[in-house]
Homo-oligomer: A and B are copies of this chain.
C-alpha cells in the first residue's frame, strides 16, 4: 500500500486535487473554455496523470458510476422472483441515496450537466446502463414470452424514470423528503406493474368484485373491450 509522496505530503490524493480544480475552473470559466491542460496545471499534476486517472475530461464529473452500478447489480443479484419488487425498490434507493449523500457536490454536478450538453448526454448514457441492468433482471424473473419481455423493458424504463424524477427534484431543491418521494414513486411504479398485465389462466366465467375509482363510463368501456 504505497501512497504517492505528494499525497503523503499534502494530505490528499492527486485525484481529489484534480476534481477540486476541475469543478472550480468549470464554475469560473465554463466547461468548454477549460482545457485539460488548465485543470492539470491548476491541480499541480501533468496532463498525462490526468488522463491516466480519469480517462477523459467528462469523467472528472462522474467519478464512481461503475461502483454504483456494481452496488445495484449486487442488490439485484441477491434476490429471486419472490422478493423482486423489494429488490428493485432497494436497488433504486441505493442509487438515489448515493447521490444524495454527496450533497453539495451532486448539486454542483447538476448545475454543470444542466448547462453543458455534452455532460447531460454523458449522464443520459449512464442512466441507460442502469435501465439495461434493471431490464435484464426483471426480464429474467418473468417467463420468456414477448409480453413478459416487454413488461420487463417497460418496468425498467419506469423504474429509472421514477428515480430520475425524484433525484432531479432533490437536486433542484424542490423535494422536501426524498425518502417519502421515492417511496411514493416506487409505489406508483409497483402499482402499475404488479397487477397481472398478461391474460393468464383463470376459471372461465369467474366473477370478481373489486372497488374502482373509475367512473361508470370508463368501466363500461373496459367491459366492452373484453
- Which residue numbers of A lie inside 8 Å of B, CB to CB? 121, 124-125, 128, 146-147, 149-151, 153-154, 156-158, 160-162, 164-165, 181, 184-185, 188-189, 191-193, 195-202, 206-215, 218-219, 222-223, 226
Pairs of residues from A and B, 8 with the lowest C-beta to C-beta distance, nearest first: A157-B161, A157-B157, A200-B213, A154-B158, A153-B161, A208-B212, A202-B213, A121-B125
Q: Is the CB of B188 within 8 A of A151?
A: yes
Please state if B208 and A150 are interface contacts (CB–CB under 8 Å): no
Main secondary structure of the interface of A (DSSP, over half): helix
Question: For the complex formed by this chain, how many copies does it contain in all?
Answer: 2
Which residues on B sit within 8 Å (CB–CB) of A125? Answer: 121, 124
User: Can you offer 16 A-B residue contacts whose CB atoms are under 8 A?
Assistant: A121-B125, A147-B184, A150-B185, A150-B188, A153-B161, A154-B161, A156-B161, A157-B160, A195-B222, A201-B213, A202-B214, A202-B215, A208-B210, A208-B211, A210-B210, A210-B219
